[in-house]
Every structure is written in C-alpha cells, then in structure tokens.
Amino acid sequence: MPDQFSSSSNAATQTDFLIVGAGIAGASIAYWLAPHAGVIMLERESQPGYHSTGRSAAAYMESYGPPQVRALTCASRAFFDHPPAGFAEHPLLTPRGALFIARTDQLDQLDAHEALVRSVSDKVQRLSPDEACARVPVLRREALGGAVYEEDACDIDVHGLHQGFLRGARGAGARVVCDAEVLGLAYLDGQWRLSTSQGEFRAPVVINAAGAWADVIGGMAGARPIGLVPKRRSAFTFTADAGQDSTSWPMFMSVDESFYIKPDAGLLLGSPANADPVEPHDVQAEELDIAIAIDQIQNATTLAIRRPSHVWAGLRSFVGDGSFVGGFDSGLSGFFWAAGQGGYGIQTAPAAGETYAALARGLAVPAAIAAFGVSAEALSCDRLRAKEAAM
C-alpha cells in the first residue's frame, strides 16, 4: 500500500504553524500569528474565502449571537473603527442601522430583543409602527406592532477585511498555498505531517480553521468530533420598486428571524434567514427557500419581487451550544480548533483571530479582549465534551 503521506516534492515543507483554511478565520489567525512564528495556510480551493467568507451578508451587530460571540464582536469594534495604517483602502464599517420589526402578537419577542440590545449598547430605540414606517417606507403599517432600532449596526467591507488580514499575514512572512486539499494527517515525533494535493507539510501545531469541513479534518487527525453542523442560508438580490430610494434604509428583519432585507450596492438583499442542516459541500440556494423569503417579505412590505437579480447560498457551521470552538484539543497534541463560527465569523474576526493566535502560542487571552468577558474556558472544545459526558 502506498504511503498516504508521500510527497511529490523531494522534502516536506516545514513550518511552525499549519493553518487549514484561509477564510476569515484562518486569515485572521495568520495575521496575528505570523509576526511571531512561521505560518503556512493550506486552502483547498483556488482562492481563499470561497465558501462562507465570500458569501456573507456582511453586517456588524453587537447584539447578534450568544454571549462569547457578543463579547468578541464588541472587542473587535476598536479594530474595525481604527485598523492599522495600510490595512484597508476604505473604512471597514459603514453606518447602516438595524430595524427589528414585530407584529402585535410578537411584542414579547420584541421586548426580549430590546433587553438584549440594551445589554451591549445604549444606542437603541423602541419605535412605534409609524416611526418604523418613517425609517422604511415600504413596511405595511397594518402588519406592525412595533420595532426596535439598533443604531450602531453597520455594513462590513468583507473583502477589504479578508484581504487586509491576508496581506498583513503575507507581509509578516506567512504563505498561502491554494488548491491544497488535505488528504491525510498523522502526528509523529512531535510533528504533524499533512499530506495534501500540493505535497507534504509539517509543523508541531495544526490549526483547524476548515469551516464546514472542520469535523472532517478533525476526524482525519483522530480527534473526537465537536458535533459541527453546516447549515445552508439562502439569499438573493432584487431591485426596489420604481421611485424608491433604499440607500439610506437600515437593514430590517422580523424579530422571529423569518426574513431580513439589507440595502446592497443599489439593490436589496433578501433572505429567509434559514438554517438548514446539510453536509459540507459547495452549497446552492433552494428554490423553495427563495419562494418562502419572497412570500414573507411581500406580507410584511409593499415590495413587489418579480425576479431576483442573483441567487446564492452559504454555509454557516454551528456546534450544539451555538458558540465558537477555539483552543487546543486536550486529547491530541498540537491540534488546535478554530471552528463553529456560525454566522458571526466576520464581525468577530479581529478579536477572535488575535485570541486564537495568542492561545496557539500558549499565551492567555489578550487583556483588552478578556476585559469584554472572553475566556479560554468558554471557547474550549472541552466544554462540549463535558456537556456530552454529563448527558
């Protein structure tokens, strides 16, 4: 039987850290790690960020996600507002605002959401139906019971952020190897040996930032699964009605997350906000998802959606408690998880990348990030194993 770790090159490529995946998770870790160690990112696609990073709706909302996600989002704000000189050509955040709307039978949900937003920001307003319609004129007044407006919500320049991380990592000496699908992993003599379609790579530490494929990579390495479930979210763009200028509208959504709409480059981006479990693959939108979103949107607004301009889907991967998994696997030497970003990977990337890079180097969570309530224990995969054992 041929050796699955044989390389087409004469010798394996050696480094300090191998990062599997060059999406937003892998790129942000490499950005903070490369100034201190040798880093190689292995990307299975022909370009980084193909599956999830490049298909994000690109919203920054401090109220979005479970507690550790909200903490990492808040801890990322300073970087978004004041990135290092030369990091990006344009501002990473553009003010947008987010409007959560509710029918009269959903006011309890609206109360709960308002309380959540106020726990992380004082820039929140409770709006009457008339005030909500003043901000988004296409809302059906008769269908509204009230709304909550999150002023600090912003659009994110996802491409600028991702490219800034990649450029900064490369500038500090990191390499990105594309078309490098991982075919096998083995740990021998204190080194991880990764067989890939681009040859063999070795390092004492592997960082598993493979997105929807993270449990697949973990299984190759011999790790116990973390229970990662990729979930499809569909989206589409369409034109606003003639005479409607949507450029100044906030992003708006139903408080039960049955749909959302976001102004996007002169069009409107709509989604049923679905989360359908799927196997990791190059996911495509389902016609039924789009039809459901169109129906929800037309029931809540006066918008007439005749034909979507563009339709797509992305993968958002979650573990059981919905939070991130970041840290060394206690059952495998030198194997570091950076998985379960769900729909929050972009807005948390600055703080998550810095945190994971520190933990991978054997350091504590950086003090400025820990001050927001981020902890290594809350991110560790051991929390999942402990819950599993307790069941």
Domain ranges of the chain: 13-57+158-226+321-385, 111-151+229-318
Pick the closest to residue 60 from 121, 101, 109 (CA basis). Answer: 121
- Residue 307's pLDDT is 87
Q: What is the pLDDT of residue 50?
A: 67
Per-residue pLDDT for the chain (391 aa), expressed as one digit of tens each? 233 333 334 357 999 999 999 999 999 999 999 999 999 999 999 889 765 555 566 899 999 999 999 999 999 999 999 999 999 999 999 999 999 999 999 999 999 999 999 999 999 999 999 999 999 999 999 999 999 999 999 999 999 999 999 999 999 999 999 999 999 999 999 999 999 999 999 999 999 999 999 999 999 999 999 999 999 999 999 998 867 889 999 999 999 999 999 998 889 999 999 999 999 988 999 999 999 999 999 999 999 998 899 999 999 999 999 999 999 999 999 999 999 999 899 999 999 999 999 999 999 999 999 999 999 999 999 999 777 666 6
For residue 254, the cross-strand partners are 101
What is the CB neighbour count within 10 angstroms for residue 135?
Answer: 17
Query: Which residue bears the tokens 């509204």?
Result: 144
Does CATH number 1.10.1240.10 belong to domain 13-57+158-226+321-385? no
Measured CA to CA, the distance from residue 152 to residue 255 in angstroms comes to 17
| Whole-number Cα distances in Å, 190 to 11, 35, 214 | 18, 23, 22
Per-residue pLDDT, 385: 79
Burial class (CB in 10 A: 0-12, 13-18, 19+), 47: exposed
Give the orientation angle of helix 24-33 with respect to helix 158-171, to 10 degrees: 40
Q: Please count the helices (runs of H) and the strands (runs of E) in the chain.
A: 11, 22
CATH of domain 111-151+229-318: 3.30.9.10
**pLDDT at position 57, please?**
67
Amino acid 53: pLDDT: 56
Residue 243: predicted pLDDT: 72
Give alpha helix (H) positions in the chain. 24-33, 67-81, 107-118, 129-135, 158-171, 214-221, 287-300, 349-360, 367-370, 376-379, 382-390
Q: Using CA atoms in the order 276, 280, 285, 286, what is the torsion angle rounded to 10 degrees? A: -60
Cβ-contact 88, 164 below 8 angstroms = yes
Which phi and psi (to 5°) does residue 107 adopt?
-65, -30
Q: What is the pLDDT of residues 54-113, one digit of tens each?
A: 556 689 999 999 999 999 999 999 999 999 999 999 999 999 999 999 999 999 999 999
Helix axes 158-171, 349-360, angle to 10 degrees: 30
- Pairwise CA distance, residues 125 & 188, whole Å: 57
> How many Å apart are CA 203 and CA 67, to the nearest integer?
33
CA separation for the pair 49, 23 (Å, rounded): 4
Among residues 3, 35, 37, 54, the alpha carbon closest in space to that of 346 is found at 54
- The pLDDT score that the predictor gives to residue 5 is 32
Task: Go through the chain and tell me how many residues it has.
Answer: 391
